[in-house]
Every structure is written in structure tokens, then in C-alpha cells.
Amino acid sequence: MQFSPSTQLNAVFGHPIGQSLSPKLHNAIYEKENIDAVFLAFDNSDIAPLIAAMRTLPIHLAAVTIPHKEKVIPFLDNVDAAAREVGSVNTIINEAGVLTGYNTDVVGVREALKVTQLAGKDVLTAGAGGAARAVCFVLREAGARIHIFDRTVSKAETLGREFGGEAYAEMPHREFDVYINATPVGMSPNENETPIPKGMIRSGSVVFDLVYKPRETRLMREAKEKGAKVVSGIVMFLAQAIEQERLWLKREISAERYAGTLDLD
Ligand code: NAP
């Protein structure tokens, strides 16, 4: 990577940040696309100094991750409509000192669910956190029937009210068309866990696991064994990152070109 006096600085803000794949992916994009920029990771449990740094240095594009996605909103000058509805921002673009927040997870979820028609389908989402909100936003716009299971039923109920879906306190042991994991269950190092019992999945089901480490989770493996169509969280991760660059650079970048960059296991 070559730097120059005009190299532009971009970053991911989070805490902890050690496992983030964003620097690797965004720096690969800058290198291959000949963009004079560098992408670093800034670890701080407080969002205020990160935003101050963004305005001062300046940082042009910031990816925002746990635990700042919701708390960052009051620090921004503008928040786009989808991010406001989802209630979280994972991207900030700094245009001449004006900070605008976006939610590109929504674009990532849309891309992951392109494998199926969602209108009128029964979709079960496990989890009711930030990522589940982006999932429900996409399900609602596509006209799916939304079902949400979360171990904290009040969170599932809130999501159900906001996006128009049914909430469950227990895993509903019946068949759905699409199953989505929006919890960290199954994520490394807890690779033996699965959020959705294998018995609920059928040949012809669609299973989307937002978890991308390991590359094949137990849920994905079992769904394949049942003959389901399986989508990895890596599809979402790549699409949301490419959208971040599109928002900054104002031009399209091919996602396929970078799929191999994310060597995870
Ligand atoms: P979050 O806001 O912390 O929400 C996590 C959700 O999972 C909550 O509903 C939580 O339930 C539930 N949960 C946590 N541990 C659980 C367990 N052991 N058993 C059952 N439920 C559990 O996190 P998030 O940002 O939504 O992220 C959720 C997952 O999506 C993570 O694995 C994250 O890595 C992944 N993700 C992937 C992408 C991508 O690009 N592929 C993007 C964003 C997120 P409680 O409320 O009861 O704690």
C-alpha cells in the first residue's frame, strides 16, 4: 500500500474491534481500485471522542459497529430515512464537515435474501437486537409475514409492534418458509450451538445465518443436510461494506471482485 500527502483516512469505530474484518476488506478495495485512502480500526467504548476525531482529522467514511450503532445518532447532523426507521447507523459519511448516518446493513440483508421471493412468505427471525431490526425492515418492505423469536420476549414484542409481526417467547415448533438467525448463537468459539432446531427445517426452506465466523455454521450445515437453500452472513457483510464505499465514492464497486478477500477460517 502506497501513502501520499493526500492519502485520505477512513475507519471503523467500535469496542472491542480486534476481530473486525472491515480494515482488511476496505483496504483491499482501495488497493485494487487505486483509491488513495487507508482504513483503520479505532477502539473506544465512548462514541463522543470518535465523532470529535472524525470532524477534526477529518475521517471521511466511518463504519460503526457494536456498541455504537444506536448511541451515535444524536451526534450526527443528518440521518437518512431508513437508518432512522431501523434505529441504528452503521455508516457515517463526512461531506465537508457535515456528518450523515446511513444503515447499509439493510442493503446487506436485501442482497442476502435475493435468493427468494418474500411477499406473503412466513419468515422466522431468531433474535431481536440491532441486526434483527434491519432484517425486519427488509421483510416489511418485501411484504413478508414476520415472526420473531427472542429469549427476551419483550424485545421481540417491540419489534413485532414496530414492523408488524408476531412475537414468540418460545421457539414455535412449526414450519416456516424462511429462517433467519440474527443472534450470535453458533458464532465462533460456540460453534456447536444452533439457534433453530434442525427438525424445523425442510427441503425447500431458505436459511440465512447472519453469523459469518465460522464460514459454515452448524445451522448452515444442518440446513444443507435437509436440502434447504442456505445464505451465509458473509454475503450480507460484503454487500453492506460495498454499499459504504458506494456512499462515499459515489460510484459502483463490484462485490464479486472482493468476495475472496474475506478469508475467515
Ligand atoms: P445485538 O444487538 O447484541 O442483538 C443480539 C440478539 O441476539 C439479541 O436479541 C439477543 O437476545 C440475542 N442473543 C444473544 N445471545 C444469545 C444466546 N446465547 N441465545 C439466544 N439469543 C441470544 O447484536 P446484533 O448487532 O443484532 O448482531 C446479531 C448477530 O448478527 C451477531 O452475530 C452479529 O455478528 C451478526 N451480524 C452480522 C452482520 C453481517 O454483515 N453479516 C451484520 C450485523 C450483525 P437478548 O436481547 O435476550 O440478549
The CA angle 40-260-129, to the nearest 5 degrees, is: 60
**Grid cell for residue 106:** 439493510
pTM, two decimal places? 0.96
For the CA of 132, the closest atom of ligand 1 is 26
pLDDT in tens, 199-225: 999 999 999 999 999 999 999 999 999
Summarize pLDDT for 152-176 with one digit per residue, the tens: 999 999 999 999 999 999 999 899 9
Q: Atom 44 of ligand 1 has which residue's CA nearest to it?
A: 131
Evaluate the omega torsion of the peptide bond into residue 184 and state whether it is cis, within 30 degrees of 0.
no
Q: Which three cell numbers stand for residue 49?
A: 471522542
Lining residues, ligand 1, CB within 6 Å? 66, 105, 108, 127-132, 150-152, 155, 182-185, 187, 210-212, 233, 236-237, 240
Cα-to-centroid distance, 125 and ligand 1 (Å): 11
* CA 126 – ligand 1 centroid, Å: 9
Q: Say how far apart CA 167 and CA 184 lie, in whole Å.
A: 19
Q: Ligand 1 centre from 251 Cα, in Å?
A: 31
The per-residue pLDDT string of the chain (265 residues; one tens digit each, 9 = 90 and over) reads 789 999 999 999 999 998 899 999 999 999 999 999 999 999 999 999 999 999 999 999 999 999 999 999 999 999 999 999 999 999 999 999 999 999 999 999 999 999 999 999 999 999 999 999 999 999 999 999 999 999 999 999 999 999 999 999 999 989 999 999 999 999 988 999 999 999 999 999 999 999 999 999 999 999 999 999 999 999 999 999 999 999 999 999 998 888 888 765 5
Query: Alpha-carbon distance 69 to 181, whole Å?
Result: 19
Q: Which atom of ligand 1 sits closest to the CA of residue 131? A: 26
